[in-house]
Amino acid sequence: MSLGSAIERAVGRRWLGVEFRHLAALNAVAREGSFRRAAESLGYVQSAISGQIAQLERAVGTKLVERSSGSAGATLTPAGEVLLGHVGEILARFEAARVDLRSLAEGTGATVRVGVLEGVGERRLPPILAEFRKRFPDARVVIDESATDEQNFDRITSGDLDLVVTELPLPSGPFEHTLLERDAYVLLVAADSPLLTLPEPPGAEQLARLPLILPTPVRDNDRLVARLRESLIDQPAWLRPRSVAAVQALVGARLGAAVVPRLAVDPDDEATVAIELPGLLPERIIVLVRHREREYSDAVIGFAELLTAGFRR
């Protein structure tokens, strides 16, 4: 055996000493920016995290973390950043395995848990659910419209949700998506609004003069306000209800006008009218999100296929 081959084998054996807890520690240090906070997030003492990082560095043969002298602060070295890029994928696979085994043990494979945007469920899901019940009579579907997008992404990562219907872009994580629908924004006004008598849809200048009512954002970043500003509509909303249904009720009471997704509007509400805004605001791109590492049950796969086909119809 050549010296080079012997060195390669020794390095390979050393990497076999890398343990899952070492990778979790590196991920926590990168996320928290200190050994102390990383230890708190994982339920360890600080010395345990320091020891796990030291063991990981010995196993891979290079320094991964720069310790700040005199404090518990820490930053990743270039080598640490490279390894961290792989660690996220590894942790996602382990988490997916844990969730799949839990589902198998609890017998939850016939339950489909779906987080959806407001309005999507009542507008699109009834015929899809009816068809699903025919194909999977023993399965159960749980639809949840209550959480924010950030919560739903956390829940699909942890396995508390199987699927999420949301809009692009997605955060980084173990996610893959399928296009469902392009949803335009509309201007919602009272049924007797003077804007309905205009020969063409109102433009940015007219919207900027309206008392706007906007729904509370489903994400930490207020994407609708950002889109309005991009269209030169920098008018702060004077009311921010939690739901589009509440927004529509306030508009019907002549308390203002609203810019809302068309899909979330109740078309049977006679007190309000939706005015199209062609070209004024970019559309929402609605997608179906899965955990790309999960081994889904036949019921979840079947529901995802019916959901995709139902939206496209």
Residue carrying the six token digits 């270039």: 78
- Give me the DSSP letters along 127-163: HHHHHHHHH-TT-EEEEE-SS-HHHHHHHHHHTS-SE
Judge contact between 283 and 259, C-beta under 8 A.
no
pLDDT at 5: 52
Cα–Cα distance, 134 to 143 (Å, whole number): 18
Same fold, 108-181+285-312 and 185-282: yes
| Residues 164 and 291 sit within 8 Å (Cβ to Cβ) | no
Task: Answer yes or no: is pLDDT of 251 > 90.
Answer: yes
pLDDT tens column, 75-127: 888 888 888 888 777 777 777 667 666 666 655 457 899 999 877 777 888 99
- Asked if the bond preceding 169 is cis, omega within 30° of 0, the reply is yes
Question: What CATH architecture applies to the domain 185-282?
Answer: 3-Layer(aba) Sandwich (3.40)
Topology of the domain covering 3-101: Arc Repressor Mutant, subunit A (1.10.10)
The CATH number of the domain covering residues in 108-181+285-312: 3.40.190.10
Bigger pLDDT: 246 vs 109: 246
pTM over cut 0.85: no
d(CA 73, CA 192): 61
CB burial class (10 A; 0-12, 13-18, 19+) of residue 123? middle
pLDDT band at 133 (very low <50, low <70, confident <90, very high): very high
- Segment 222-232 mean pLDDT: 77
Amino acid in the structure at residue 80:
G
Q: Give me the residue spans of the domains in the chain.
A: 3-101, 108-181+285-312, 185-282
Beta-carbon neighbour count of residue 191 at 10 Å?
13
pLDDT above 70 as % of the chain: 88
74 beta partners? 67
